[in-house]
Amino acid sequence: MEGEPSPRSGAGFHQGSFPLAVNVDLQTDATLQVDISDALSERDKVKFTVHTKSTLPNFKQNEFSVVRQHEEFIWLHDSFVENEEYAGYIIPPAPPRPDFDASREKLQKLGEGEGSMTKEEFTKMKQELEAEYLAIFKKTVAMHEVFLCRVAAHPVLRKDMNFHVFLEYNQDLSVRGKNKREKMEDFFKNVVKSADGVLVAGVKDVDDFFEHEKTFLLEYHNRVKDASSKSDRMIRSHKNAADDINRIASTLYTLGTQDSTDVCKFFLKVSELFEKTRKIEARVAADEDLKLADLLKYYLRESQAAKDLLYRRGRALVDYENANKALDKARAKNKDVLQAETSQQVCCQKFEKISESAKQELIDFKTRRVAAFRKNLVELAELELKHAKGNLQLLQSCVGVLKGDT
């Protein structure tokens, strides 16, 4: 673990230089701007420096920073989910846990295999793995930042007390990760929830809008999941091919230095060419990962959050209908009528409140989604073009040189 790179950069993670891959119209609002200005990878945790600029009166200063870890983000997210007041909103999905395991394992394997390869190969592979580590690191920073920005942009959530504490309280929040028992509780809660979800989803909605959204989201979520996993596989094949080109370049180089005939020039030139094109291929895979795979993964999580909203509304609807039935029964028996009436009122209000905000949330979700896809697809196409043109130029110039030589 000691050999682990610890990327640390001051300016590197500002919103400008590493643009948010996913969200577009979170254009700021000078009243509250949040970003992650720095990050430090240490052993098995990552420390994020959350930087806030605000003109809101409730903060003591106009600009301040705190250090937070992943568990604290989860705590914040969970507090939103558990808050009944927010039942009618799409809760911004929690950022995934920073996962450097795969990368760490590869670095370890490289260390063990050091004896079996030449020094150049070793250095090259080490550089690549370090670059990969850095890429994963940047991604996890971006995802945590997106979460905070979504919260900051939401008209209601941005006012949340816990959020302000998260941003401002410059000591450790003492949020411990869930222990085993709590994790088991969560697991069972989820099981119950999904069973319930199925029941709730079965209830046909009177409102056309919501009925449509329900069907749409269900199908959309599944297809995004499929597209996300397929895009991951495609990108991994791409990376594998780039790695092969790397090895070919090395062997060509050895052949070129060994060969005493005319063809050694060819080998050396092509080796040089492949070194360069391989870097471009690796960049293509990385960009596809950012613009396509990450986009799909994010909307997988967001569509789940939207489904959760629909579930909560559905739940409220069922509760409301049950309360109605109970009221009718109570009236019929003329027993506990007042109680039933209050209960029915509460359910009704809850349901209507959720319905109202849910509608707006779902409309916003669509707008955000369309904008994000547009931005990313355009950028994807532009990057693919840029790389293909770069590759083409390298290849053509090499062919020109080699043809001239024969």
Partner 1 sequence: MAAEMEPPPLGDAGQTDFREIEDGEGFFVSTVTTLESPEPSSPDPPSMPAEGISTNGPKQEDISLDDDPEDLFAEATEEVSLDSPEREPILSDGPSPAITPVTPTAMLTPRMGLGTAEMFERSLDEIEEDDSGDTFDMHIAVSDPEKVGTFNTVLMYSYIKTSMTIFSKNETTVRRRFSDFLGLHSKLASRYLHIGYIVPPAPEKSIVGMTKVKVGKEDLSSAEFVEKRRSALERYLMRTVKHPILLKDPDVMMFLESSELPRAVSTQALSGAGILRMVNKAADAVNKMTIKMNESDAWFEEKHQQFENLDLQLRKLHASVECLVCHRKELSVNTASFAKSAAMLGNSEDHTALSRALSQLAEVEEKIDQLHQDQAYADFYLFSELLGDYVRLITAVKGVFDHRMKTWSKWQDTQLLLQKKREAESKLQFANKPDKLQQAQDEIKELEGKVQQGEKDFELISKTIRKEVSRFEKERVKDFKVVIIKYLESLVQTQQQLIKYWEAFLPEAKAIA
Selection from 146, 73, 158, 97 nearest residue 302 by Cα: 146
Q: Closest approach of Cβ 316 to partner 1, in Å?
A: 24
Q: Closest approach of Cβ 199 to partner 1, in Å?
A: 24
Dig out the tokens for 25 from the structure.
């119209």
Residue 289, Cβ density class (10 Å: 0-12 exposed, 13-18 middle, ≥19 buried): buried
- Cβ-based neighbours of 281, under 8 Å, separated by 6 or more: 238, 241, 242, 245, 391
The residues facing 46 across adjacent strands are: 41
Spatial separation of the C-alpha atoms in residues 255 and 263, rounded to whole Å: 10
Q: With respect to partner 1, which residue has the nearer C-beta, 94 or 300?
A: 300
Q: Closest approach of Cβ 139 to partner 1, in Å?
A: 20
Question: Helix (H, G, I), strand (E, B), or coil: what is residue 36?
Answer: strand
Question: Helix (H, G, I), strand (E, B), or coil: what is residue 131?
Answer: helix
Q: With respect to partner 1, which residue has the nearer C-beta, 74 or 371?
A: 371
Q: With respect to partner 1, which residue has the nearer C-beta, 229 or 343?
A: 229
Q: Closest approach of Cβ 336 to partner 1, in Å?
A: 45
Q: What is 99-153 written as a DSSP string?
A: --HHHHHHHHHHHHGGGGS-HHHHHHHHHHHHHHHHHHHHHHHHHHHHHHHHHHH
Q: With respect to partner 1, which residue has the nearer C-beta, 55 or 397?
A: 397
What is residue 260's DSSP assignment? -
What is the CB neighbour count within 10 angstroms for residue 247? 14
Q: With respect to partner 1, which residue has the nearer C-beta, 51 or 375?
A: 375
The single residue listed with the structure tokens 């997106």 is 146
Q: Closest approach of Cβ 76 to partner 1, in Å?
A: 31
Q: With respect to partner 1, which residue has the nearer C-beta, 238 or 353?
A: 238
Q: Closest approach of Cβ 260 to partner 1, in Å?
A: 7
Binding site for partner 1 (CB under 8 A): 216, 219-220, 223-224, 226-227, 230-231, 233-234, 236-238, 240-241, 244-245, 247-248, 251-252, 254-255, 258-263, 266, 270, 273, 277, 366, 369-370, 373-374, 377-378, 380-382, 384-385, 388-389, 391-392, 395-396, 398-399, 402-403, 406
